[in-house]
Structure 1
């Protein structure tokens, strides 16, 4: 069965579930928006209009580079949420993480990460009311997700310790 546009029900279901640049990460319990039929749209709930715009259409202006230890990873999102992502990931490193708006000297070291921006299904990490997409190979995506989760736990422990002192 097909609709007025000639799309079958199966094609419509696939388009509802997968979006080429946004793929939510199950470890993060962010509410998932649904369409009028109750199907998940495949997009994380992102309230930041700048992040929504950047994630919808990644461009040179919305893509920055995260410098963390020996990693140089392209990330997409608004500047505020990219900086917050970097600061949280930086809690897992001896040196501060940086976000730069240009391709740094030496470029992206990992050959798979160099090709990653051309491939679909990059995770979107929810940060506050926004989100950041990691345009990296699966190995480095996993590493950054783990660092982000560890950084969140570290930040929570630090703020809990400070609250106890007061």
Structure 2
């Protein structure tokens, strides 16, 4: 490792955005192709998202813990399209805040309101996942 890399503190965020260590996520975010866009269907939300397949699956499963129905991920534009008019205009926005997940990121292409809702659902899903994991490890260590 070069000396310059060892001396520089490693930050998870650069310019307000998370560092992307996943090559496939970086590739998906740089892509100008429409094939890179997937669609997250969660309750009444249809949100276009950019990321690699692995991180999209992880994100979808975590968000799925916050819904009574299932969270689905489509690789094609849904038949009903994107219902929210502001979300339809989101691809033309210059800012797209990323959500860090493991060593990659998810970039929802949504209006600020729906972006906040997705972030909140993801955070709630992470808390639920941690609680379930803690409960399972406690049960496994305890006597049944």
In the superposition, the TM-score normalised over structure 2's length comes to: 0.86
For the pair 1:146 / 2:127, whether they are aligned, the reply is no
For the pair 1:100 / 2:81, whether they are aligned, the reply is no
Residue of structure 1 aligned with 2:92, choices 101, 109, 118:
118
For the pair 1:155 / 2:129, whether they are aligned, the reply is yes
Q: CA deviation at 1:108?
A: 0.3
Give, in whole Å, the separation in 1 of the partners of 2:113 and 2:32: 21
Segments ≥4 residues shifted beyond 6 Å:
none
SS of 1:72 mapped into structure 2: strand
Gaps of 5+ in 2: 1-10
Gaps of 5+ in 1: 1-29, 33-39
Matches within 5 A, 1:118-137: 118-137=92-111
Give, in whole Å, the separation in 2 of the partners of 1:80 and 1:158: 22
Aligned length, in residue pairs: 130
In the superposition, the TM-score normalised over structure 1's length comes to: 0.75
**Hey, what does 2:5 align to over in structure 1?**
none
- Alpha-carbon deviations, 1:85-142, whole Å to 9, x = none? 1111110000110110111111000000001011111111111111110100000000
